[in-house]
Structure 1
C-alpha cells in the first residue's frame, strides 16, 4: 500500500505541486507581497507661515523612513488630496506656530488622518506623534531647556525587536501550508479510490482496514514534512526569520500537527466519496479556519468571546502558537507542551473517527 501510494504521488503532478510549489508561492507572496508594516506613508504638509522652525519640523518628517511628505499651500488643497486618497494624513502648521513655540513653548500642530483603515490610521498617528515628540526634545535641547514630562518612556519590544510583520507572518504561514498539504491531499485519497472503482479491488484483498489507512497516510506524511522543511529553509535563509528555539522541538511539533491534518483529511475522505465534495469540505473545514481563526494574521484576543471559544476547536491555533514561540521566543516549554498536548488529543480523536468510519463494506 505504501509503495502503491508513493507511485501514485509520483505520477500525479498536482500532489507534488501542492506539497512543494504551493509553499514556495505562498511564502513568496506573504514574505514579499503582504506586509502589516506601514512605511513611506504619503503625508500632506501645510505650512501657513514658513520659517526656520517649520522648516526644521518638515525636515524631521522628510528624514523619517515612515513618511513621504508633500507640501500644499492651503488646508483645503490638502483635504482634497486626502479625499482623493493621494495622501494618508495631513500635518497642519498654522501661522501662529512659531510665535507660540517661542513665547510660551506650547505650539500645537494639527493632524488629520484617513480613518477608513483603522489599523493604518492608528499606526500613522503613532508615527506622527513619535516624530513630533522627537523634534520637540531636540528643539528644547537646542534652546538649553528640558522638555517637561511627567513620565519618560523607554519602550522595549520583545521577540520581534525590528517590528517586522514578516517575522510574524512567515512562521504562522507554515501551519496554513501544512494544513493544505495534509488535509487537502488526504481528503481526496479514499474518494479517488471510490471514483476510479479501485476501492472494490482493495476490499477483496486480505489487507486489513488499518493497514489501508496506514499505507495511505505514511507517503503523505513524508510529503508534508518535506513541505515543512522547505518552508523552514525559506523562512531562515530567504526571509531572515530567526529560529531561536530548537529545530528538533519544531520538527516534533510539526510531525504531531501533520498527523492531525492527515486525520482530518482521512475523516473527510471516508465520509465524502466524491473528490470534488472532499476538496470543498477540506477548504471550508480546514483551510479557512486555519487562515482566519488560528491567530496567523488576526489576533485571537481581539476577537469576540464566542469566536475565541470556537478557536479552541481549530488545530492550527495550537500549532501557530508553537511556531511563533519557537521562531521568535525560543523553547518556552509550558507553551510548547500545553499546545502539543492539545494537538495530541486532536490527533487521537481525528484518527480514531477516521478508523471508525472506514470499513471494508460497500455501504
Structure 2
C-alpha cells in the first residue's frame, strides 16, 4: 500500500465528484427531499378525520357527547341531518365514518341501559379503521365517566386502563418514521453511488489505464471507498440535523454512538455497492441492481414502515439478510429509547459481520485483469 498513490487516487475521485453534480445531489439534496416528503407528507396518525354525525333528537345529553368530538384532535365532525345522507357521504368518500345518535338516546341513558349509538367505519384501510374505533371508544368512555361523576354515581367498569406510553410519549408516527428513513437514505448514498463508480471506469475506458499503472487493486478500492464514505457521513449529519431541529425528533441516546453505528452501516452499504459495480461493469445495470437489491429491501423489509413481526415467518427469516433491518433497530433505539446496549451491540455485531463479508467478497472478486 503506497500512501502517495492512495492520496492521488482519493484526490482524483474527489475531483470526479466535483465535476459530476449527481453525486453531490444524491449525498446532500436527496436526503433533504426524502426527509421533507416523509416528514410532512407521510403520517400514520389519524388526525382531523372527517366523520358524519347524525343526531335524531338534539338534547343537552347529545350535545355534551358530541362536544367530545369537537374538541378532539382526531376528529373533524360534519353534522348531517339524516342517516341516509351520512351513508351517501360515506359511499362518496367524503367522510371516513358515521356516528348516529338515535332518538331514544336520552330515554335509554336514564334507564341505566347502554345508550344506542350506531357507528359505521370505512375499513378499506383496516389499520385506519381500527384507530378510529379506538378513538371513538375513548370518547365514549370519557363521556360516560363525566356523566357518572356529575350524577354522583360510581360507574361500574370491569377493567380500568391506566396507559403508560414509553419511548414515544407524543404518539407521533413522525418520530418513528424519520429515524428509519435515515437508514434508507444511507443505503441510497452508500450503495447507489459506489455501484456506479467502478462501472463508470469500465465504460469510459479509464480502468485499463489504472490497471496499467503501478497501483494495486486494494489502493483502487480504497480510493473509491474513502471519498464516498466521507460523502455518506456528511449526508448522515445533514439528516440527523433535520430530524432533530426541523422535525423535533428526540435524540435520547448518544450522538457519537449513533455516528459510530452509522459509519458501520455505511461501510456495509459501500461494500454492497462496490461488489455490484465490480460484477456489473455497466452503469445502467449496476444502478438497477443496486435499487432492487439494496433500496427496495431497505424500504420494505427493514421495519422502517412495516412491522417485521407481522410478516409471514418465511419473510421474517429473509429480513435477516437485509442490513438495513439491523440499522433501523439501532436508529429507533438511539432516537427514542436511548443507549440500550444489548440491542445495540447485537445489531452492530450483525452489521460488522456483513461489512466483513461484502468487503471481503469485493476484494476477492477484484483483479488487475481485463477479462
Aligned with residue 296 of structure 1, among 292, 304, 328: 304
Aligned-residue RMSD, C-alpha: 0.7
Are 1:146 and 2:154 an aligned pair?
Answer: yes
Displacement of 1:259 in angstroms is 0.4
- 1:314 corresponds in structure 2 to 322
Among 136, 139, 146, which residue is 1:128 paired with? Answer: 136
Counterpart position of 1:113? 121
State the 1:105 CA deviation: 4.0
Offset of 1:74 from its aligned partner? 1.5
Q: How big is the shift at 1:106?
A: 2.1
Instruction: Report Cα offsets for 1:280-322 as digits up to 9, x if no partner.
Output: 0000000000000000011101111111000000000000000
Out of 72-81 and 311-320, give the one that drifted further: 72-81
Q: Which residue of 2 aligns with 1:69?
A: 77
What residue in structure 1 maps to residue 270 of structure 2?
Answer: 262
The 2-side partners of 1:236 and 1:107 are apart by 46
Tell me what 2:5 maps to: none
The separation in 1 between residues aligned to 2:365 and 2:170, in whole angstroms, is 49
**Matches of 1:184 and 1:249, distance apart in 2:** 25
- Residue 333 (structure 2) pairs with residue 325 (structure 1): yes
Aligned residue in 1 for 2:65: 57
Tell me the equivalent position of 1:92.
100
Matched, 1:39 2:47: yes
- Runs of at least 4 residues of structure 1 off by over 4 A? none
Residue 336 (str. 1) matches residue 344 (str. 2): yes
Query: Please, which moves more after superposition, 102-111 or 59-68?
Result: 102-111
Distance 1:50 1:99 in 2: 13
Q: 2: CA distance between counterparts of 1:60 and 1:242?
A: 30
Question: CA offset at residue 31 of structure 1?
Answer: 0.7
With normalisation by structure 1, the TM-score equals: 0.99
Match of 2:22 among 8, 14, 17: 14
Question: Shift in Å at residue 92 of structure 1?
Answer: 0.9
Q: State the distance in 2 between where 1:340 and 1:348 align.
A: 12
Matches of 1:68 and 1:327, distance apart in 2:
32
Q: Write the distance in 1 (CA, Å) between the matches of 2:340 and 2:18.
A: 39
Q: Determine which of 290, 293, 314 is the counterpart of 1:285.
A: 293
What corresponds to 1:237 in structure 2?
Answer: 245
Structure 1, unmatched stretches of 5+, are none
1:175 aligns with one of 158, 170, 183: 183
Mapped partners of 2:184, 2:83: distance in 1: 46
In 2, Cα distance between the equivalents of 1:346 and 1:289?
15
3-state SS of paired residue (2:70): helix
SS of the aligned residue for 2:47 comes to coil
Q: What whole-Å deviation, never above 9, does each CA across 1:116-161 have from its counterpart, x for those lacking one?
A: 0101100111111111111111111111111111211001110000
CA contact (8 A) 2:104 2:116 kept: no
TM-score (norm 2): 0.97
Structure 2 CA distance for aligned equivalents of residues 356 and 165 of structure 1 = 43
- Identify unmatched segments of 5+ residues in structure 2: 1-8
Residue of 213, 222, 225 corresponding to 2:233: 225
- Please give the secondary structure, in 1, of the residue aligned with 2:53: strand
Q: Partners of 2:38 and 2:346 in 1: how far apart? A: 28
Matched, 1:192 2:200: yes
